[in-house]
């Protein structure tokens, strides 16, 4: 033990002996104040009890050593308490999963903290226009799509959860391929995402969920680097039909920074067909750099949510009118494209 090896080197004076005795007495006193944790083996300690005991022991320890940390909250105790509470809820089944497989408890405890590291430290995302998202009720977020791998969707979900005053969950509509992948598909479901089809979009919006769609699909995600920030075709307007049927507002979202994480300079089409992929990208680092080529470049990101476009004033049956859906789709696309140009014009640099 570290304490024992130190005692062999440094002689114990009377003051240090007295301090050690005080610390041991403090631990005994703290334990005695919570006898159920020691005497009743049938009692399961809650996370709050464990955290309280650890916190009290540390406070006595700091007080005996004269450390000023005794006056502040103990971060270690909080982490122990949070971890204990998470394990207890997972073991007892004290959490809720919706019909799509969304597990908010697991998402908040595991997925979001991992993504938050990329969001804050790697891409250094700046978010604006978050006030355009409603505090409650449905809204359809429509965003541009790029970057070879769908990091833009994941970063947008972190932006909404962390920056919105109500910390709302953003439900992403993703391609079928995502849910066909082992492990990845299950994780996507638990993180709240579902397949990008009109039926699922309608169900989410009808349930009052904040839903996100990337209408460019693979055409945007896998486009060459030379075509960066040039929006591709927005599909057939299925997302507009879902918004019209539910009366949900459409919120245009423009993302700058995702185009540079994997600059796509080539595509091995034969290999993509063999692997069942929409494309097999060649970048300056992949596949030449091996696994390191999978690391996204640390570009500086900006995510801006635009003013919502209301769909509540359209007449009944507008969702089935191809002219209405086309015009609304084109309006959303033009808004996103114009905002992208504005963000690019104001950007200091790709990696600054």
Q: Which of 39-53, 185-199, 273-287 has the lowest mean pLDDT?
A: 39-53
**Percentage of the chain with pLDDT > 70?**
79
* Per-residue model confidence as pLDDT tens digits over 197-222: 999 999 999 999 999 999 999 999 99
User: Domain range holding 333?
Assistant: 98-117+124-261+296-346
- Strands of the sheet containing 250-256, edge to edge, are 126-128, 302-305, 250-256, 139-143, 210-213, 170-174, 194-195
Q: How far is CA 189 from CA 89, 174, 272, in A?
A: 19, 10, 25
| Dihedral in degrees, nearest 10, Cα atoms 49, 51, 53, 58 | -170
Q: What is the pLDDT of residue 39?
A: 43
Q: What is the pLDDT of residue 59?
A: 58
Confidence of residue 309 (pLDDT cuts 50, 70, 90): very high
Confidence of residue 63 (pLDDT cuts 50, 70, 90): low
User: Would you say residue 40 lies in a domain?
Assistant: no
Q: Which of 32-36, 141-145, 166-170, 220-224 has the lowest mean pLDDT?
A: 32-36
Q: How far is CA 205 from the centre of its chain?
A: 20
User: Would you say residue 74 lies in a domain?
Assistant: no
Beta carbons of 263 and 227 less than 8 angstroms apart: no
Q: What is the pLDDT of residue 25?
A: 53
- What value does the mean pLDDT take over residues 33-42? 46
Instruction: Name beta bridge partners: 309.
Output: 250
| Strand ranges (E), 130-269 | 139-143, 170-174, 194-195, 210-213, 250-256, 266-267
Confidence of residue 36 (pLDDT cuts 50, 70, 90): very low
Domain containing residue 215: CATH number: 3.40.1130.10
Q: What is the pLDDT of residue 159?
A: 98
- What value does the mean pLDDT take over residues 293-300? 96
Confidence of residue 237 (pLDDT cuts 50, 70, 90): confident
Nearest Cα to Cα of residue 299 among 147, 73, 79: 147
User: Would you say residue 141 lies in a domain?
Assistant: yes
The total number of structural domains that make up the chain: 1
User: Would you say residue 57 lies in a domain?
Assistant: no
User: Would you say residue 273 lies in a domain?
Assistant: no
Q: What is the pLDDT of residue 74?
A: 75
Q: What is the pLDDT of residue 321?
A: 93
Whole-structure pTM over 0.85, yes or no?
no
* Per-residue model confidence as pLDDT tens digits over 244-278: 999 999 999 999 999 999 999 999 999 999 999 99
Q: What is the mean pLDDT of the chain?
A: 85
- pLDDT over 90 at 85, yes or no: no
- What value does the mean pLDDT take over residues 7-11? 40
**Percentage of the chain with pLDDT > 90?**
71
User: Would you say residue 175 lies in a domain?
Assistant: yes
SS3 at position 67: coil
Nearest Cα to Cα of residue 171 among 193, 151, 155, 142: 193
- pLDDT over 70 at 49, yes or no: no
- What value does the mean pLDDT take over residues 120-125? 98
Confidence of residue 117 (pLDDT cuts 50, 70, 90): very high
User: Would you say residue 305 lies in a domain?
Assistant: yes
User: Would you say residue 316 lies in a domain?
Assistant: yes
* Per-residue model confidence as pLDDT tens digits over 145-190: 999 999 999 999 999 999 999 999 999 999 999 999 999 999 999 9
Q: What is the pLDDT of residue 30?
A: 47
Q: What is the pLDDT of residue 47?
A: 52
């Amino acid at each position: 033990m570290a304490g024992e090896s130190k005692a062999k080197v440094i002689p114990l004076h009377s003051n240090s002996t007295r301090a050690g005795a005080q610390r041991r007495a403090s631990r005994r006193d703290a334990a005695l104040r919570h006898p159920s944790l020691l005497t009743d083996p049938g009692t399961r300690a809650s996370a709050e009890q464990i955290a309280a005991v650890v916190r009290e022991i540390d406070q006595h320890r700091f007080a005996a050593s004269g450390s000023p940390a005794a006056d502040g909250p103990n971060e270690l105790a909080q982490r122990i308490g949070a971890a204990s509470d998470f394990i207890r809820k997972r073991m007892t089944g004290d959490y809720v999963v919706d019909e799509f497989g969304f597990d908010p408890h697991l998402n908040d405890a595991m997925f979001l903290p991992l993504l938050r590291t990329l969001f804050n430290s790697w891409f250094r995302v700046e978010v604006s226009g978050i006030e355009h998202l409603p505090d409650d009720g449905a809204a359809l977020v429509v965003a541009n799509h790029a970057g070879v791998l769908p990091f833009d969707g994941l970063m947008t979900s972190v932006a909404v959860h962390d920056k919105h005053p109500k910390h709302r969950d953003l439900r992403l509509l993703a391609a079928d391929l995502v849910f066909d992948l082992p492990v990845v598909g299950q994780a996507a479901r638990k993180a709240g995402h579902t397949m990008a089809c009109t039926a699922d979009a309608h169900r989410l919006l009808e349930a009052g969920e904040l839903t996100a769609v990337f209408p460019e699909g693979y055409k945007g995600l896998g486009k060459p680097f030379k075509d960066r920030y040039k929006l591709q075709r927005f599909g057939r307007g299925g997302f507009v039909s879902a918004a019209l049927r539910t009366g949900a507002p459409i919120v245009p979202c423009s993302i700058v920074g995702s185009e540079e994480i994997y600059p796509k300079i080539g595509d091995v089409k034969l290999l993509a067909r063999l692997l069942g992929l929409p494309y097999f990208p060649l970048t300056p680092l992949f596949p030449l750099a091996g696994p390191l080529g999978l690391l996204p470049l640390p570009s500086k990101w900006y995510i801006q949510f635009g003013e919502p476009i209301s769909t509540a004033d359209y007449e009944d049956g507008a969702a089935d009118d191809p002219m209405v859906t086309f015009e609304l789709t084109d309006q959303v696309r033009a808004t996103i494209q114009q905002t992208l140009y504005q963000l690019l014009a104001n950007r200091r640099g790709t990696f600054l």
